[in-house]
Structure 1
């Protein structure tokens, strides 16, 4: 049996989550924090895919985007809104907005969405059974339409 927050429920504020991010960055430095948050996201995403029964299903494209958005978007944990998933030449591109990592940041900030990218990365690996190398290639903070993540199969 696990402890449940009867009064406050499962959700916390973006402000508190961002305080964790900046505190870890202050302690480990930006590069160290990036590794920690990406890995933490991958663990979360993999567990989420397994909890939802999506592991090993090999979902693709719009169906995958819809499942990720349901789990991570407005009706789910509110980590990010997933707008699309495209596959081309062994690469998967995932477009998101309203990522928790970008929330509250100044335009032009060099903030990367390490936890959000990691969560999607971990979910993709659990769903497809493949291993990927991921990177953020676009940011809403730096003029992009999306926080875009690209995953290349290894």
Structure 2
């Protein structure tokens, strides 16, 4: 039997989550925190893809995008708004808005998305059954219209 939060449910404040991230950065350093949060996000993304029945399925990238967007968006966990996923040659680009990482940050902040990048990364790896390398390439904090994550296949 698992313990549930009968009054508060599954969600908590973005303020608390950001405090956890900043506290980890203070204790572990930015690089170790980023590695840890990306790994945690990837694990979450893979689990999400499995929960949505997207692993080893013949679903199109468009259909997978719709399901992931719903699960992570305003009707799901509210991690982000996922606008689109597109292939650009050998690169997959994921366009997001309202990410946890940009919330409350001043314009010009150098903050990168870590857990959010990892969650999208893990979901894509599970959906595509391929190992990927990911990076955060554009940010709403630095003039972009979206937080963009780019993925390329390894090996």
TM-score normalised per structure 2: 0.96
1:57 Cα deviation from its structure 2 partner = 2.0
Maintained 8 Å contact 1:60/1:85:
no
CA RMSD in angstroms comes to 1.0
Query: In structure 2, do the counterparts of structure 1 residues 111 and 59 end up closer, same or farther at CA, with 3 Å as the change threshold?
Result: farther
Q: Are 1:89 and 2:89 counterparts? A: yes
Q: Secondary structure at the match of 1:9?
A: coil
Q: Are 1:119 and 2:119 counterparts? A: yes
User: Cα deviation per residue 1:91-135 (whole Å; 9 max; x = unaligned)?
Assistant: 110000000111011110000011100000000011111000000
* Mapped partners of 1:58, 1:92: distance in 2: 18
Equivalent runs, 1:1-154 vs 2, <5 Å: 1-154=1-154
1:58 Cα deviation from its structure 2 partner = 5.0
Maintained 8 Å contact 2:46/2:126:
yes
Structure 1 unmatched runs, 5+: none
User: Cα deviation per residue 1:64-106 (whole Å; 9 max; x = unaligned)?
Assistant: 2211110100011000000000012221100000001110111
Q: How many residues align?
A: 154
Query: In structure 2, do the counterparts of structure 1 residues 99 and 37 end up closer, same or farther at CA, with 3 Å as the change threshold?
Result: same
Structure 2 unmatched runs, 5+: none
Deviates most, 102-111 or 50-59: 50-59
TM-score normalised per structure 1: 0.96
* Mapped partners of 1:86, 1:64: distance in 2: 12
Maintained 8 Å contact 2:55/2:126:
yes
